[in-house]
Structure 1
Amino acid sequence: MSPLRKTWWTFIFLVLFGLALYLPFLGFKEFEGEEGRRVVVALEMLEKEDFLVPSILGKPYFMKPPLFNWVLAVAFKISGNFSEFTARLVSSLSAIITALFLSLIWMKVLKKEESLPFSGKEPPLWILLLPGLIYLTIPQVIDKALLAEIEAFYALLVTLSLYFWFYLFELKGKKDLAFFVAGCFSGLAILTKTFQALLFFYLPVILYFRKRQSLKLLYSRGHFLFVIGLLLVFGAWFIPVSLKVGFKPFLTAWLAEYSGATRIEGKLLSHLEVYTADAVLYFSPWLLLLLLWIKRENLEHLKSYPLLSRLGALSAFLFISAYFSHLLIPGARLRYLFPATSGLAFLSSLVFLLCPKILGFSPKKVFIFLISFLFLSKHAYTFYSNSKSPKYFPTVSSQLANYLSGEKVLYLCETPPPYLVYYLKYKYQVVEEMKYLETCKEIPSDIFVLVPRKEKLLNEVSLPSEVIPLKIRSNEYLLFKGG
């Protein structure tokens, strides 16, 4: 098989495998966690044709920049629907594209390396598939690829930033261009999840330069071009939004989120448990393979391949620096280091490429077994969890439609969970508008109001004699008509 055909077969297999892994049951569950927030912001952008300032029910939402919402909005516009499947498909495709990119970089490095640890001039197909299939089957990647959340798309941008830089810097020798392109992708990553994205570039690159005794490159023209590329991309949104509403609300919200992450939430022991036991669970079995790098002979073997050694060093710096920098932040969640999973994929790939035996078996057999096991385990777990996942909103929406008797405006006393807005306003179209009341102490007559059943809030509200209790998931609400 020619190298070009083998490359195309690699890409085709990765796409088909990724679709088969992620798509079954993708739209079965109702939105959970932050999914509703991301989707409602995107839908309001399309509804109001205002793409600068994210908002929920007309209130500006400053906690996250808008790039992921733009991508969701484009997906909704192109597909013509805004279902759970469409929203989550964005994350699934982001993970698949990341896997394709990792495989492309891997193939470029293997092609450039002068000698390789396999017979023949060209690597076999299973070796070309290593980083892509490993990335797709990392349990945390599977988890994020099935959610309409920021993480999978964000990880794609961080991966493009760091490894495009490596490709242009090390393989092409175009140092200035490497920094500029990395800066542009870092700007996109900042537009997705704020300035935390810079940690995933600077920490591994600084450690990489230090290892190569090249820290002076941080003062080079290339690094200046990195900053220029970043500012050009970020400024394309930053300048117009500053002219419209000012940038202070965004900056204040972002700083508040950073400071909140540094506070201890619960016991320190639980934080350490998340970053030990949970980390092993979410990154296994691939994380456990890294123990083979403890053997000196394996490291010495890696050093005999200069480009692979550099790729391994950068990947190790990415994964390890991300892990320990977040371990030291008491309130940091494990998903914060998700973009570093691309480093884990490369490090695990090098194990299969360079270690002659893994637990006494050939690397190829171990690789095929692990991929098959993870593929089947994912589908078994998904089938089981979906069978136990109730659908609340068809029933709740029908109840509300009966109670509202054709009324298309629902008033609120406080911010509802965004998934509630999605299902009542957009998916089941029980109401056309949901509005906030300036005060709930005096309810205007002839309007329907939905109030969370909270003692503090209910003490301020004058409830009429006829009140309809509603339970939506674990939350209790009261629906009544003013008057």
Structure 2
Amino acid sequence: MLNTTPFSPFEKGFLWFFLCLVVFAFYYQLGIYPLFLEEPRRGLIALEMMMQDNYWVPTQTGDLYFRKPPLYNWLLILSYKVFGVNEWATRFFSVSSHLLLGLITYLFSKRYLGNALAVLVAFSYLLAVDILVYFSALGEIDLFYALLTTPILFGIFHYGEKGSYLKLFLLVYGLTALAFLTKGLSALPFTGISLLVYFSWKKRFRELFFWRHWLGVLLFSVLVGGYFYQYSQYEEVSGWWTTLFRESAEKATGGGFSKWINHLIAFPLDTLKNLLPATFFLPVIFRKQIIQLLKANRLVWYGVLVFLSNFAVYWLSTEGRSRYIYPLFPFACLVLIYAGELSGVRWKDKYLRAVSIVCAGLMIIAFAAIPFLPSLEAVDNRWVITGMGVFLLTVLLGITLKRRVRPYLAVLAVLCVLRLGFSFIVPQTREKTTGAAKDKALATEFALLTEGKPLYRLGDVRMSLTVVFYLERERGEVLKQKGEFSQGYFFCYTEDLPTTYQPVGELSYHGEPIYLIRYTP
């Protein structure tokens, strides 16, 4: 354990205040805006499993769905049963997963790095900007997947260092099975690569051939095989393997050579951007002794090896996305914080204090501009939001100038205020002005018009899943496909309109009009 300077009583109070502030901000107004992007797909599958009373076979508008196994949908079903079928329930487990992984990161880091560094690592992960102002406001699968996957990497080191290999393999393969049942084949490279890296580094490669390892593999097989056995009682399993392998291949090689070259350049830069604020330490860690410093702590060096080896998979994959490597973010933060805090650079504090002052100053200007931006006219209480943000940031700026807290804490606090402002503003704009808001209103109208009557998609009609989710929720039944017209209501394309029909409504999807009609033979 490292002996770093402990936090002063003022710094402890400062940290607790901003921790409470950002936790509040993560949940505030989380449920007021409609589902969009991939959210309605996740919610729709869970909703249909509930309506069809079949928790083994995922469907989307009644069609079999093979792209993701259903563990995350089971959590959504639990959330829907507790909170009701609504936006809050759809996003609850995603946001909570992020906060819980921040806590796990703190507890794990504290054991090997001490309290002060662990706090900085955990805060840096919680406030990583890509998650802070984007994915932590969505009911998506990736933050829950990180909650399952990062502890695999933690567990390899923790139990490996203790020599508790049976516990290591049981924990690792148990969590890998859950990760597989969440996101499919992408769970396997994280586990396989990290095990190879650790046992090669430790020169204990033969452990991978002992019975303890095979017992872990057996546990994985029983958990994953158990699900697919249950699935086979209802539907043919072969569709799963075809889809999962095809998707993995397309993500690795799709796009062509020029796209691959662009990805090689852009992906590391995007990663550095998305890891802010931890990457503010980059200028102070590049020095001749950096490798020796990193190797001086076994956990930190393991973090370097695990991050680089797993990062390479997504760096070389054309379709690699930042969210795919969220399980690596705690390790990136750990390495950067350790190297930055223990670097001997004399100008480090001045540099970080300048960063915090600039960030606070820019944020004060941004908050002050809120009432005057035409794009935010739909936001209620803009002057209150401005006053609150400017006040907090001005106080923070004064604390920074008086050197009451170490400068990196001030950087973290600025990001907490940023998230607070985001939570006051963005949910309102999404609620009132986005395409998803229009889709929700349209679905509610269509549900009322077709209440108690048969409603289908004609053939392979594709439409906004936001519309479908709210339509199915309001009607309480699956919007299934039908190959030909019969008595009732139908969504159909222009070229499929029958000779005689009663027009009811219209929407568009990717620029193509879709008509809701009433057909009476």
Paired residue secondary structure (1:148): coil
Give the corresponding residue for 1:419.
Answer: 466
User: How many angstroms apart in 2 are the aligned matches of 1:201 and 1:102?
Assistant: 18
1:15, distance to aligned residue in structure 2 (A)? 7.2
Give the corresponding residue for 2:23.
Answer: 19
1:384, distance to aligned residue in structure 2 (A)? 4.4
1:377 to 2:418 alignment: yes
Contact preservation (8 Å) 1:274, 1:334: no
1:339, distance to aligned residue in structure 2 (A)? 1.9
User: Residue deviations 1:28-55, cap 9 Å, x none?
Assistant: 3211121111111112222222111111
Paired residue secondary structure (1:92): helix
1:432, distance to aligned residue in structure 2 (A)? 4.5
Q: Which of 75, 79, 98 is residue 71 of structure 1 equivalent to?
A: 75
Contact preservation (8 Å) 2:157, 2:198: no
Q: 1:264 and 1:236, CA in 2 relative to 1: closer, same or farther beyond 3 A?
A: closer
1:152, distance to aligned residue in structure 2 (A)? 0.5
Paired residue secondary structure (1:104): helix
Return the letter of the residue paired with 2:49.
Answer: M
Q: 1:323 and 1:149, CA in 2 relative to 1: closer, same or farther beyond 3 A?
A: same
User: Residue deviations 1:57-108, cap 9 Å, x none?
Assistant: 33221111111011111111123x1211121110111011111111111122
1:55 to 2:47 alignment: no
1:470 to 2:506 alignment: yes
1:403, distance to aligned residue in structure 2 (A)? 4.4
1:284, distance to aligned residue in structure 2 (A)? 2.2
1:270, distance to aligned residue in structure 2 (A)? 4.5
Query: Which is further off, 406-415 or 28-37?
Result: 406-415
Map 1:64-143 to 2 at 5 A: 64-79=68-83, 81-110=84-113, 123=114, 126-142=116-132, 143=134
Give the corresponding residue for 1:395.
Answer: 441
Q: 1:263 and 1:299, CA in 2 relative to 1: closer, same or farther beyond 3 A?
A: closer
User: Residue deviations 1:168-216, cap 9 Å, x none?
Assistant: 221x331221111111111111111112112112223322333333322
1:166 to 2:207 alignment: no
User: Residue deviations 1:387-426, cap 9 Å, x none?
Assistant: 443221453145425644x443321122433322211121
Query: Which is further off, 31-40 or 134-143?
Result: 134-143
Contact preservation (8 Å) 2:49, 2:58: yes
Q: Which of 333, 340, 345 is residue 328 of structure 2 equivalent to?
A: 340
User: How many angstroms apart in 2 are the aligned matches of 1:229 and 1:353?
Assistant: 41
Contact preservation (8 Å) 2:152, 2:172: yes
Q: 1:464 and 1:379, CA in 2 relative to 1: closer, same or farther beyond 3 A?
A: farther
Paired residue secondary structure (1:462): coil
User: Residue deviations 1:320-369, cap 9 Å, x none?
Assistant: 22322112122333322222212212213313542355853078723212
User: How many angstroms apart in 1 are the aligned matches of 2:311 and 2:135?
Assistant: 18
Q: 1:357 and 1:232, CA in 2 relative to 1: closer, same or farther beyond 3 A?
A: farther
Paired residue secondary structure (2:203): coil
User: How many angstroms apart in 2 are the aligned matches of 1:190 and 1:161?
Assistant: 12
User: Residue deviations 1:140-171, cap 9 Å, x none?
Assistant: 3333222111100100100121212221221x
Contact preservation (8 Å) 1:450, 1:479: yes
Query: Which is further off, 26-35 or 408-417?
Result: 408-417
User: Residue deviations 1:188-247, cap 9 Å, x none?
Assistant: 111111121121122233223333333223223332233122223222312222343232
Paired residue secondary structure (1:434): coil
Query: Which is further off, 369-378 or 464-473?
Result: 464-473
Paired residue secondary structure (1:262): helix
Paired residue secondary structure (1:254): helix
Percent identity of the aligned residues?
Answer: 22
User: How many angstroms apart in 1 are the aligned matches of 2:30 and 2:117?
Assistant: 29
Give the corresponding residue for 1:150.
Answer: 141
Root mean square deviation of aligned Cα: 3.0
1:258 to 2:261 alignment: no
Q: Which of 427, 434, 440 is residue 479 of structure 2 equivalent to?
A: 434
Contact preservation (8 Å) 2:197, 2:306: no
Contact preservation (8 Å) 2:124, 2:277: no
User: How many angstroms apart in 1 are the aligned matches of 2:463 and 2:156?
Assistant: 43
User: Residue deviations 1:295-341, cap 9 Å, x none?
Assistant: 2334323444xxxx221122222322232211212233332222221
Q: 1:366 and 1:225, CA in 2 relative to 1: closer, same or farther beyond 3 A?
A: farther
Paired residue secondary structure (1:222): helix
User: How many angstroms apart in 2 are the aligned matches of 1:128 and 1:106?
Assistant: 5
Contact preservation (8 Å) 1:293, 1:299: no
Map 1:32-51 to 2 at 5 A: 32-51=36-55
Instruction: Structure 1 unaligned segments of length 5 or more: list them.
Output: 111-122
Give the corresponding residue for 1:331.
Answer: 319
1:12, distance to aligned residue in structure 2 (A)? 8.0
Give the corresponding residue for 2:263.
Answer: 271
1:283, distance to aligned residue in structure 2 (A)? 2.0
User: How many angstroms apart in 2 are the aligned matches of 1:9 and 1:242?
Assistant: 55
Q: 1:146 and 1:189, CA in 2 relative to 1: closer, same or farther beyond 3 A?
A: same
How many equivalent residue pairs? 447
Give the corresponding residue for 1:198.
Answer: 188
Give the corresponding residue for 1:479.
Answer: 516
Structure 2 length normalisation: TM-score? 0.77
User: Residue deviations 1:425-474, cap 9 Å, x none?
Assistant: 21xx15745231123xxx22x411122x5xxxx33442546535523686
User: How many angstroms apart in 2 are the aligned matches of 1:482 and 1:233?
Assistant: 48
User: How many angstroms apart in 1 are the aligned matches of 2:236 and 2:32?
Assistant: 40
Query: Which is further off, 219-228 or 143-152?
Result: 219-228
